[in-house]
Amino acid sequence: MSLVKSTLTIGSLTFVSRIFGFVRDVIMANLIGASWLSDAFFVAFKMPNFFRRLLAEGAFSAAFVPMFAGMHAAEGKDKAMRFASESLSVLLVVLLLLNAVCIIFMPFLLYVFAPGFTDDADKFNLTVDLARICFPYILCVSLVSLFGGILNSIQKFAAFAAAPILLNMCMVFALLVFTPHSPTAAHALSFGVFMAGIAQLLWIVWFCKRENYLPSLLVPRITEQVSKLLKLIAPAALGAGVAQINLLIDVTLASHFEDGVSYLYYADRINELPIGVIGVAVGTALLPMMARQIREQKLDLAAHSLNRAIELVLLAGIPACLAMLAIPHTLISALYQHGEFTAHDTHATYTAMMAFAAGLPAFVLIKVLAPGFFANQDTKTPFIIATGCVLLNLVLNLILMQFYEHVGLAMATSIAGWVNAGWMAIILYRRRIMTPDAPLLRRVPLLVVAGGTMTCVLLGLNHLLKDWMMTGGNTERGLGLIALVGTGMGVYFAMVLALKIFDLAEIKSYLRGKKST
């Protein structure tokens, strides 16, 4: 399967998931707004979500997928599945221990994740209760990541990419059905997270069984291959999850500002849309592809794949960044400003979103540059880079939060993201894994020109519609946002074709898999 086809498969399903996610966020904003309830739930959900992104989808996938894909290609299915079964057995023991320890000592964990909550006993105790309900999600979703890694390695991307849809569907269901019967809407959401973990695990197990790639449970044993996997996981935890660590630092410090956790959450949700739909999609498809190419010593082909991946993420990342900087107030007010979410909340959220948006191109680039290391089973270099960027982010946080409060935290994350992406790119260039070719060097400046044209149109149209949208209700704001997004996308892609950045024949050849395999 071509890189573009794989990306379309993963990206389209991720987009559906994000749509359900926005429905969830809109309902949440209406019911609990930006308040102590939302702060408590976001921290409670952030804890298992942090471990999921850092360990399961970050470190574990970065280490497991290249090993499994390489073993499958060189030694066959039986050897690879034996390795998967050994890994599953050890992972399950680790996850059970992690869950038990974290649930028991949850109050102490909150001193790390949300020290600002300790001044409010009710808020602190509620967060402990919600986190204990949510935390078992990490067990289920970590197993989902292992099974999904197996399917991705054999280029069956759809099932794993669709799994997050179940999370958002379960949370929407819980909000609508459980809220009247729960102490608070935050409790209903937490039960929805718990349900989602079980649903996702059953979903992915069924697909693995259908493809005859379901690993078995063995007596846990540290074999030679499992030992190698564990050694790769440790540094990959930082290398793959630097953005998550930086966001965790943001949340920890934001807990000291009133409703700061909620403002950062709502702002980051908008920023995460292009990162998830295109950045994660391309990175997920690229990792097993580059692992095979490097294993087969096809370094020129690996460099070609990386160049095309960079083009794909910037094709979406550049206009998304510019749109969030051009019409931030319109985006946030149209999506969230109703019910308990006030005009003040809109202002506090959109300023944070602009700060995150400034780093968006860097965030999506990190997603495709990281496989350049992981495909070669190098997790130490991203670890070193990530460590430096985490320290930089912390220093910038402590400085900028003094002047800009929660917005300063988002600004620090974006600056650290650019340093991270630049550092990765320089090292990959020196190793000749990333060698920018003529098409890439020609296309990137033209993408900026296309994005700039789109921005000018958006600013003009937003000026014309602003009064009508602001004086109207939810319907007017929604219709205005649809008009802005639709017009912006139309202008951008018209410019892409007009400037011949990509032509239709080339797009068709990509979709047939002639250039990206």
CB atoms within 10 A of CB 97: 10
With 50 as the cut, is the pLDDT of residue 511 above it? no
Question: With bands split at pLDDT 50, 70 and 90, how would you rate the model's confidence at 279?
Answer: low
Question: With bands split at pLDDT 50, 70 and 90, how would you rate the model's confidence at 517?
Answer: very low
**pLDDT value at position 421?**
93
Q: Using CA atoms, how far apart are residues 347 and 333, in angstroms rounded to an integer?
A: 9
With 80 as the cut, is the pLDDT of residue 53 above it? no
Rounded to 5°, the CA angle 468-472-475 comes to 110
**pLDDT value at position 316?**
86
Q: Using CA atoms, how far apart are residues 269 and 283, in angstroms rounded to an integer?
A: 19
Tell me the mean pLDDT in the region 278-297: 71
pLDDT (tens digit, 9 = 90+) per residue, 120-170? 888 889 999 999 999 999 889 888 988 988 888 887 878 888 888 898 899
C-beta of residue 250 within 8 angstroms of C-beta of residue 273: no
pLDDT (tens digit, 9 = 90+) per residue, 454-502? 999 999 999 998 888 877 777 788 888 889 999 999 999 999 989 988 7
**pLDDT value at position 515?**
46
Residue type at 490 in one-letter notation = G
> Look-up: residue for tokens 């890189």?
3
Q: Between 268 and 276, whose confidence is greater?
A: 268
The token duo for 158 is 């759809």
With 60 as the cut, is the pLDDT of residue 508 above it? no
With 80 as the cut, is the pLDDT of residue 281 above it? no
Question: With bands split at pLDDT 50, 70 and 90, how would you rate the model's confidence at 2?
Answer: low
Tell me the mean pLDDT in the region 355-365: 92
At residue 484, the 3 state secondary structure works out as helix
With 80 as the cut, is the pLDDT of residue 286 above it? no
CB atoms within 10 A of CB 446: 16
With 60 as the cut, is the pLDDT of residue 344 above it? yes
Of 277-286, 309-318, 330-339, 374-383, the range with the lowest mean pLDDT is 277-286
